[in-house]
Amino acid sequence: MILVTGGTGLIGSHLLYRLLANGYKVKALCRKGSSKKDVKDLFDFYEASPLFFKIEWVEGDVQDYYSILNALHHVTHVYHCAAMVSFRPSDRKMMYSVNVEGTANVVDACIEKKITKLCHVSSIATLGKSHNGSLIDEECYWQSDDNHSFYSQTKYKAEMEVWRGIKEGLKAVIVNPSVVIGPGNPNKSSGELLQKVSKGMRFYTSGSTGFVPVKDVVCSMICLMNSAVENERFILNGENVTYQHFLTLASKAFKVAPPSLLAPRWLLNVVWRIEYLKYIIFRSLPRLTKEAARTSMNHSKYSSLKVKKVLLKDFTSLHESLLESVIFLTSKH
């Protein structure tokens, strides 16, 4: 029996689908009152509605240690996908609780229940930077400075909890996905960006980063969990492209005009300051934060050579993943 935390998110919902399609028995930890509509929509999209009803939903929360222990009854393997992403200062306390303390709870519960293996979904946000222009790999370690978002800090500390668990005898693998693309809720994760692209975007930013199809993320996770590999981490990245290239590909998939104007640094700095002022006065959700503006101008390239040596295959093209995402999003209108 397998337990998945964060099963209603982008990675979690695709993981549930893939596990069930492969014949595994699956439990999913879900908070009281949480909607499962996104998961059902995904299963319907893949014409796998009967599989959705095979999920054993267990009420609980990663912030509640004893609910995790309860969910681990008869479980041998755990995929920890639950996490909170936010750039609002008011969410910092909750994000720390979910990402750091929640991961510590999962790790401790896995140790107590003698779980066979844990797969922890981390992020490229926990990696260090390349100082010579080379690809960022698993050996690029985190450096403490003022340039990390609070989200990055919580994900790094969460990953440290897993390494702490490994020293205490837990067998685990850690995956660090880049920006994950795939069919999902248009108001969350990368779906929110694609939703904006579908309406047409005039501006693009100067930065670049890595993108990876969600189907490759979950297939990699399952492969690593079924392998003899343990106590290692793996970057999951499909392609390194500029934001302009990504937005142009997405625009063509939606059949809308691609962005043609470069947003200069000074403009981004003005916009995030205005949005922050509006947040302070009106408590409105900022459309652009200082952290997001800074990230959009960074140039980062990631290596997935290590995981490909284990998987012995390449990832799906970004173009193909975008087309599938567009079909999903347009089918919901």
13-47 per-position pLDDT tens digit: 999 999 999 999 999 999 988 889 999 999 999 99
pLDDT in tens, 99-127: 999 999 999 999 999 999 999 999 998 99
Within a domain: residue 246?
no
Give the tens place of pLDDT for each residue, 233-251.
999 999 999 999 999 999 9
Residue 146: pLDDT over 70: no
Using one digit for the tens of pLDDT, what is the confidence trace for 247-301? 999 999 999 999 999 988 888 888 878 887 877 787 777 777 777 888 888 888 9
Q: Which of 258, 286, 261, 256 is nearest to 274 (CA)?
A: 286
167 within domain boundaries: yes
Residue 145 reports pLDDT greater than 90: no
Q: Which domain holds residue 56?
A: 2-181+210-238+301-316
- Give the residue among 97, 71, 69 at the shortest CA–CA distance from 84: 97
How high does pLDDT run on average in the chain? 91
% of residues, the chain, pLDDT over 70: 97
Considering its fold, how many domains does the chain have in total?
A: 1
Residue 111: per-residue pLDDT = 97
Structural tokens at position 285: 């959700």
Specify the pLDDT at position 322. 93
Confidence of residue 185 (pLDDT cuts 50, 70, 90): confident
pTM: 0.93
Q: What angle do CA 297, 299, 301 make, to 5 degrees?
A: 150
Residue 72 CA to residue 313 CA, distance in Å, equals: 33
Q: Which pLDDT score, from 0 to 100, does residue 100 have? A: 96
191 lies in some domain: no
Burial of 170: CB neighbours in 10 Å, binned 0-12, 13-18, 19+ = buried
The DSSP letter of residue 90 is G
Q: What is the pLDDT of residues 48-103, one digit of tens each?
A: 999 999 999 999 999 999 999 999 999 999 999 999 887 777 788 999 999 999 99
User: Quick count: other Cβ atoms within 10 Å of Cβ 198?
Assistant: 19
Q: Is the pLDDT of residue 172 over 80?
A: yes
The DSSP string of 270-292 is HHHHHHHHHHHHH-PPPSS-HHH
Yes or no: say if 156 and 100 are a contact pair by the CB < 8 Å rule: no
Residue 81 lies in a domain: yes
Q: Are 136 and 302 in contact (CB under 8 A)?
A: yes
**CATH code at position 114:** 3.40.50.720
Q: Which amino acid appears at position 154 of this protein?
A: T
Residue 9 lies in a domain: yes
pLDDT tops 80 at residue 317 = yes
Residue 294 domain-assigned (yes or no) = no
In a domain, 285, yes or no: no
pLDDT at 171: 97
The answer to whether residue 255 is domain-embedded is no
